[in-house]
């Protein structure tokens, strides 16, 4: 009977529960702060890891001849000429095709890469025309190798956006 009236066992139990609640709360607070910091610095970390600033060193263009852009659109393909006008090598490109029914992308075009000043002519990038529908816009995004890795970094700062493409 003495145990029921005793408050000695209750006090350490409450202290242990409060300690656990305080530790979990502090842990959640620290995790939230760290997650926010890591997310906000991700782009900076990616750029420094490849050692190239996409906004200043990477640039590509579709050349023009007498105001005619060297790109045309077929039912399931894009025929294009692309030039590396930047100061760093572009390892490959991604082409995204947006239409009224959806979009498609092709991640591995011009796998041999383009050195500064190089021109790749008559490259054909295939896509699923039925899934895309009527093409409204084409985006071409340069990709670079990350040193010490097999992964490639997208340079969305240097992407090309093209609309009103003539048929082939």
Q: Write the pLDDT tens digit of every residue in 95-154.
A: 888 888 888 887 666 767 888 888 887 777 778 777 888 888 988 888 887 777 777 788
Q: Is the pLDDT of residue 168 over 80?
A: yes
Average per-residue pLDDT for the chain? 80
What is the distance between the alpha carbons of residues 111 and 4, in angstroms, rounded to a whole number? 78
pLDDT of residue 14: 83
The answer to whether 139 and 90 are in contact (CB under 8 A) is no
Residues of the chain with pLDDT > 90, as a percent, come to: 8
Give the predicted TM-score (pTM) of the model.
0.63
- pLDDT above 80 (res 27): yes
Q: How many CB atoms lie within 10 A of CB 13?
A: 9
pLDDT band at 1 (very low <50, low <70, confident <90, very high): very low
Residue-wise pLDDT tens digits, 33-60: 888 887 766 655 555 555 567 777 888 8
Q: Which two tokens stand for residue 67?
A: 């105001």
Residue 107 pLDDT = 67
- Confidence category of residue 26, pLDDT binned at 50, 70, 90: very high
CA distance 165 to 168: 9
Rounded CA separation 166/71 (Å) = 7
pLDDT, residue 45, reads 56
């Amino acid at each position: 009977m003495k145990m029921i009236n005793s408050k000695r066992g209750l006090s350490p139990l409450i202290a242990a529960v409060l300690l656990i609640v305080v530790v979990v709360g502090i842990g959640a607070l620290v995790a939230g702060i760290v997650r926010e910091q890591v997310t906000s610095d991700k782009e900076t970390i990616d750029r420094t890891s490849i050692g190239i600033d996409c906004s200043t060193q990477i640039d590509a263009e579709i050349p023009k001849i007498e105001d005619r852009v060297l790109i045309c659109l077929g039912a399931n393909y894009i025929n294009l000429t692309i030039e590396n006008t930047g100061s760093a090598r572009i390892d490959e490109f991604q082409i995204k095709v947006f239409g009224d029914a959806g979009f498609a992308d092709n991640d591995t075009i011009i796998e041999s890469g383009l050195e500064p000043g190089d021109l790749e002519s008559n490259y054909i990038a295939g896509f699923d025309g039925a899934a895309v529908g009527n093409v409204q816009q084409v985006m071409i995004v340069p990709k670079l190798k990350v040193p010490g890795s097999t992964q490639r970094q997208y340079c969305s700062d240097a992407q090309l956006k093209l609309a009103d493409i003539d048929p082939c």
